[in-house]
Structure 1
Amino acid sequence: MNPSRYRILAIGKIRKKWISEGLELYLKRLPGLTITELKDSSPQKEADAIQTQLKNNETLIILMEEGRPLASIPFAEYLKALGSKRLVFVIGGANGIAPEIKKMADLCLSLSPMTFPHEIARLLLVEQIYRATTIIHGGPYHRS
């Protein structure tokens, strides 16, 4: 599992310092993982911005509360099963993700049945990618 094969497209900017600091911590541990921030706007403009960023060779995973819930170990197993495929995770804005983007998704993933602000969802996703990496490599970070 190589974090340089992963990238995150996220609507909106991080405004809270403590979230930025948390993201910096995990991004140092995940060299190559990139996050691209897209301007928050109308759902259609956000969908257009997401579509222009997508690449043909990527597996599209969108985060949404009604998506498929995966615990940390099954999430790690899912990522491992994808082998060397390139992945793009999409985190929508306040209005969620447009239906046309949902239809394109290879996986609709739920971090929780609860709703989180996009900033917190971004931090949770990056932490879970790090956790999955340590699970796959047998590191001590995850305790089951």
Structure 2
Amino acid sequence: MQTIQILALGKCKENYLRQACEEYEKRLSRFCRLQITELEPVSLPQNPSEKEIAAALEKEGAELLKRARGYCIAMCIEGKQIDSPTLARKLAEAAGGGDSGAVTFFIGSSYGLAPAVKQRAQLRLSMSAMTFPHQLARVMLLEQIYRGYQILGGTKYHK
């Protein structure tokens, strides 16, 4: 069974979003071992300087990279936009690879991801040109992973 790991900076605080995540976690349990790890973002002042932001991203990035396994996907605004069938193929390709077919998704803090994390990733993925709260993006990512497994299984979920 494939391992899907989501490494996210910050907690999913809103109850309705946590419930949505829990629903997709339950659905995904039939297809993969899902591990969601919430890491604490580096605390920054109200109006941080570029230097303070860069230092925080570097520290956060080091924590993410320590936990990375397998095929890595960085969720970032400058990433490539792909459709659901393409994501499904990426999951299938990773499943045939080494490290138990593990896939790690990186979700950064409100300032994004460190350059080192983006460099480690085999794919930089953007959900949209629009901006979404990170908590909502997590729900959307879980839904797309679930949709990917449904596509691979040939079900009618993906129309």
44, 57, 68: which one pairs with 1:54?
A: 68
Looking at structure 1, the residues matched to 68 and 82 of structure 2 have their Cα atoms a distance apart, in angstroms, of 24
Looking at structure 2, the residues matched to 12 and 87 of structure 1 have their Cα atoms a distance apart, in angstroms, of 20
State yes or no: 1:35 paired with 2:49.
no
Looking at structure 1, the residues matched to 91 and 58 of structure 2 have their Cα atoms a distance apart, in angstroms, of 29
**Structure possessing the higher radius of gyration over alpha carbons:** 2
Which residue in the other structure is 2:47 paired with? none
127, 131, 148: which one pairs with 1:115?
A: 131
Q: For 1:19, give the aligned amino acid.
A: L
Uncovered stretches (5+) of structure 2, i.e. residues with no partner: 43-55
TM-score calculated relative to the size of structure 2: 0.83
What's the CA shift for 1:118?
1.1
Which residue in the other structure is 2:79 paired with? 67
What's the CA shift for 1:114?
1.2
TM-score calculated relative to the size of structure 1: 0.91
53, 60, 79: which one pairs with 2:91?
A: 79
Q: For 1:65, give the aligned amino acid.
A: I
The verdict on how the C-alpha distance between 1:23 and 1:101 changes in structure 2, with shifts beyond 3 A counting, is same
CA RMSD of aligned residues (A): 1.2
Q: For 1:107, give the aligned amino acid.
A: L
Provide Cα deviations, 1:48-73, integer angstroms capped at 9, x if missing partner.
21122124xx1111101110111111
Looking at structure 2, the residues matched to 114 and 104 of structure 1 have their Cα atoms a distance apart, in angstroms, of 24
Q: For 2:12, give the aligned amino acid.
A: I
Q: For 1:14, give the aligned amino acid.
A: C
